[in-house]
Amino acid sequence: MADHLEASVTLPSDPVSVATARRRVTEVLTEWGLPEGAEAADTVRLIVSELATNAILHTFGQSPTFTVVLQLERDETLRIGVTDSHPRWPQRLPAAVQQDNGRGLVIIRSLTAESGGRLSVTPTADGGKTVWIRLPWTTPAL
C-alpha cells in the first residue's frame, strides 16, 4: 500500500455539484476499501455535502468553482479538503440565531469531533481558503 493516496475533483459552484461531489467521494472511498454502506462513509459524505454547500452558498458567486480533495495518509488518516477562492473564512453562527439554514459548520464540527477528528482552515495562494477535516482511517485500503 502506498503511503499516500490522493483524489480530487473541481466542480462549478452550482447546487447540483453537491451531489456530484458526494458521488465522487463515494467512488474514491470504495476504491480505497471503505464499504459504501459503512457509517464512516456516510459521515464523510455528509461532511463533504456540508462543505460543498458552504463553498457554493457563502462565497456569494465570487468563487466560480470549488475543489474537493481526499488524501489517505499511511492507512491511518483521511483528510478531506474543500477549497474555494472567496476570502471569507467559515464562521459559526451564535446558538441564539433562529434560521432555517446556517448550521452547516455546526454539523461539520459535530461529525468531526464524534469521529475523533479535527477541523482546520488554511489560506490559499489566490486569497481563498481550504477547509480541512482530518479523520482517523480505520478501514485498511486495498
Question: SS3 for 81-112, per residue?
Answer: EEEECCCCCCCCCCCCCCCCCCCHHHHHHHHH
In this prediction, residue 118 carries a pLDDT of 95
Most confident of 51-55, 56-60, 92-96: 51-55
Q: How far apart are alpha carbons 56 and 71 in whole angstroms?
A: 22
Whether residue 80 is predicted with pLDDT greater than 70 in this model: the reply is yes
Q: Which of 46, 23, 37, 26 is nearest to 108 (CA)?
A: 46
**In the chain, where does DSSP find H-type helix?**
16-31, 39-57, 104-114
In this prediction, residue 105 carries a pLDDT of 82
Whether residue 96 is predicted with pLDDT greater than 60 in this model: the reply is no
Whether residue 110 is predicted with pLDDT greater than 50 in this model: the reply is yes
Amino acid at the residue 45: R
pLDDT digit string (tens) for 30-55? 999 988 888 899 999 999 999 999 99
pLDDT digit string (tens) for 16-25? 999 999 999 9
Q: How confident is the model at residue 116 (pLDDT cuts 50, 70, 90)?
A: very high
